[in-house]
Structure 1
Amino acid sequence: MLLLPRNIWRSLISTPQSCAATAFVAFFLLAIQYFRVKAAHDPSSLFFDYRTAYERPYSEIRTKQADAFIAQAGNGPQPKASTNPSLCICAGGVQRYGARYFRTMIGSLLEGLSEKERSDILLVPFIGNVDPNDHQAYKEAWLHNVADHILIYSNETVSAEDQERLRGMENPGGHFEKGLFDWIFMLKGCMNSTADYYVLVEDDALAMDGWYSRTKAALKTIEDSPLYGNSIYLRLFYNTGLQGWNSEYWPYYVFWSVAFELFVLGIIYLLRSSKIKKANEFLTDRAVLVILFICAPACILLYFAAGRITIYSPSSGVYPMNHHACCSQAFVFPAEQVPPLVDFYNEKRVGYRDSLLEEYSDARDMTRWAITPSVVQHVGSKSSKEDAESHEPTDKYGRTVAQNIWNFQFEQWDAKELRREHLHPISEGE
Structure 2
Amino acid sequence: MKLPATPRILSLLSLAVFLWIVYRVHSIAARDPTSVFFDPSTGYTPRYSAVRREQAAAFIARANSQDYAWTKAQEGQRRLCVGIPSMATRGPEYLQDAVGSLLEGLTEDERGEMYVVVFVPHSNPAVHGAYGQTWLSALTDHILTYNLSSPEEMKHVQEMEKEEGGEYREKGVFDYHYLLEHCAEQQAPYVAIFEDDIVAADGWFHRTLAALEEAETRSATEYASQTFLYLRLFYTEELHGWNSEDWLAYLATSFFVFIVPMGLLCYLRTQNAAANRILTNRVLLAIAASITTSIGLFFALGRITVHPLPTGISLMPEFGCCSQALVFPTTIIPSLAAFFASRRTGAPDVLLEDFARDKGGEDGLGKGLRWALSPSVVQHVGRESSKKDDFGEMSKYGMSVAETIWSFGFEDLKAGALRTEHGRVVREGS
Query: Under a length normalisation based on structure 2, what TM-score does the superposition of the two structures give?
Result: 0.87
Task: Tell me, in whole angstroms, the C-alpha distance in 1 between the residues paired with 2:150 and 2:168.
Answer: 21
Q: Who is 1:65 aligned against?
A: 55
**Post-superposition shift, 1:210?**
0.5
Amino acid at match of 2:128: H
Would the alpha carbon gap of residues 33 and 280 (structure 1) be closer, same or farther in structure 2, given more than 3 Å must change?
farther
Would the alpha carbon gap of residues 272 and 159 (structure 1) be closer, same or farther in structure 2, given more than 3 Å must change?
farther
Q: Who is 1:224 aligned against?
A: 217
Task: Tell me, in whole angstroms, the C-alpha distance in 2 between the residues paired with 1:422 and 1:279.
Answer: 58
**Post-superposition shift, 1:25?**
10
Amino acid at match of 1:231: F
- 1:278 pairs with one of 259, 274, 278: 274
Q: Who is 1:408 aligned against?
A: 408
- 1:38 pairs with one of 18, 22, 28: 28
Aligned pairs for 1:184-333 (under 5 A) are: 184-225=177-218, 226=221, 227=223, 229-275=226-272, 277-292=273-288, 294-333=289-328
Aligned pairs for 1:96-115 (under 5 A) are: 96-97=89-90, 100-115=93-108
Matched residue SS, 1:100: helix
Task: Tell me, in whole angstroms, the C-alpha distance in 2 between the residues paired with 1:338 and 1:211.
Answer: 23
Q: Who is 1:164 aligned against?
A: 155
Amino acid at match of 2:417: E
Matched residue SS, 2:356: helix
Would the alpha carbon gap of residues 281 and 384 (structure 1) be closer, same or farther in structure 2, given more than 3 Å must change?
closer
**Post-superposition shift, 1:26?**
9.7
Task: Tell me, in whole angstroms, the C-alpha distance in 2 between the residues paired with 1:55 and 1:130.
Answer: 38
Deviations 1:249-298, CA, capped at 9 Å, x for gaps: 111111111111221222223321332x3321122223323433x22221
Check conservation: 2:148, 2:154, Cα contact below 8 A. no
Q: Aligned pairs, how many? A: 408
Matched residue SS, 2:425: coil
Determine if the alignment matches structure 1 residue 173 to structure 2 residue 161. no
Check conservation: 1:237, 1:374, Cα contact below 8 A. yes
Question: Which stretch shows the higher mean deviation, 266-275 or 392-401?
Answer: 266-275
Check conservation: 2:88, 2:129, Cα contact below 8 A. yes
Deviations 1:332-376, CA, capped at 9 Å, x for gaps: 101111110111111111111111111211331521111111001
Check conservation: 1:99, 1:382, Cα contact below 8 A. no
Query: Under a length normalisation based on structure 1, what TM-score does the superposition of the two structures give?
Result: 0.87
Task: Tell me, in whole angstroms, the C-alpha distance in 2 between the residues paired with 1:173 and 1:112.
Answer: 37
Deviations 1:220-242, CA, capped at 9 Å, x for gaps: 11222224524111111111111
Check conservation: 2:216, 2:228, Cα contact below 8 A. no
Check conservation: 1:96, 1:382, Cα contact below 8 A. no
Check conservation: 1:41, 1:53, Cα contact below 8 A. yes
Would the alpha carbon gap of residues 29 and 229 (structure 1) be closer, same or farther in structure 2, given more than 3 Å must change?
farther
- 1:369 pairs with one of 368, 371, 385: 371
Determine if the alignment matches structure 1 residue 335 to structure 2 residue 330. yes
**Post-superposition shift, 1:106?**
0.7
Check conservation: 2:92, 2:128, Cα contact below 8 A. no
Structure 2: gaps (5+ residues): 8-12, 362-367
Structure 1: gaps (5+ residues): 14-22
Task: Tell me, in whole angstroms, the C-alpha distance in 2 between the residues paired with 1:188 and 1:394.
Answer: 36
Task: Tell me, in whole angstroms, the C-alpha distance in 2 between the residues paired with 1:135 and 1:201.
Answer: 18
Would the alpha carbon gap of residues 110 and 97 (structure 1) be closer, same or farther in structure 2, given more than 3 Å must change?
closer
**Post-superposition shift, 1:92?**
2.4
Amino acid at match of 1:54: Y
Check conservation: 2:376, 2:409, Cα contact below 8 A. yes
Check conservation: 2:384, 2:400, Cα contact below 8 A. no
Task: Tell me, in whole angstroms, the C-alpha distance in 2 between the residues paired with 1:88 and 1:344.
Answer: 21
**Post-superposition shift, 1:175?**
2.3
Determine if the alignment matches structure 1 residue 144 to structure 2 residue 134. no
RMSD: 2.8
Task: Tell me, in whole angstroms, the C-alpha distance in 1 between the residues paired with 2:278 and 2:151.
Answer: 86
**Post-superposition shift, 1:205?**
1.1
Question: Which stretch shows the higher mean deviation, 354-363 or 198-207?
Answer: 354-363
Task: Tell me, in whole angstroms, the C-alpha distance in 1 between the residues paired with 2:426 and 2:260.
Answer: 44
Q: Who is 1:358 aligned against?
A: 353
Check conservation: 1:98, 1:382, Cα contact below 8 A. no
Check conservation: 1:95, 1:384, Cα contact below 8 A. no
Would the alpha carbon gap of residues 129 and 160 (structure 1) be closer, same or farther in structure 2, given more than 3 Å must change?
same
Task: Tell me, in whole angstroms, the C-alpha distance in 2 between the residues paired with 1:309 and 1:187.
Answer: 33
Task: Tell me, in whole angstroms, the C-alpha distance in 1 between the residues paired with 2:402 and 2:172.
Answer: 16
Matched residue SS, 2:333: helix
Matched residue SS, 1:186: helix
Q: Who is 2:419 aligned against?
A: 419
Would the alpha carbon gap of residues 395 and 217 (structure 1) be closer, same or farther in structure 2, given more than 3 Å must change?
same
Task: Tell me, in whole angstroms, the C-alpha distance in 1 between the residues paired with 2:28 and 2:156.
Answer: 51
Matched residue SS, 2:193: strand
Task: Tell me, in whole angstroms, the C-alpha distance in 2 between the residues paired with 1:190 and 1:307.
Answer: 40
Matched residue SS, 1:206: strand
Would the alpha carbon gap of residues 384 and 100 (structure 1) be closer, same or farther in structure 2, given more than 3 Å must change?
farther
Task: Tell me, in whole angstroms, the C-alpha distance in 2 between the residues paired with 1:123 and 1:258.
Answer: 54
Amino acid at match of 2:197: D
Matched residue SS, 1:199: strand
Deviations 1:178-200, CA, capped at 9 Å, x for gaps: 21111111101112111100011
Q: Who is 2:39 aligned against?
A: 49
Deviations 1:197-221, CA, capped at 9 Å, x for gaps: 0011110011111111101111111
Deviations 1:363-422, CA, capped at 9 Å, x for gaps: 315211111110010011146799x98x51212211111000000111111112222222
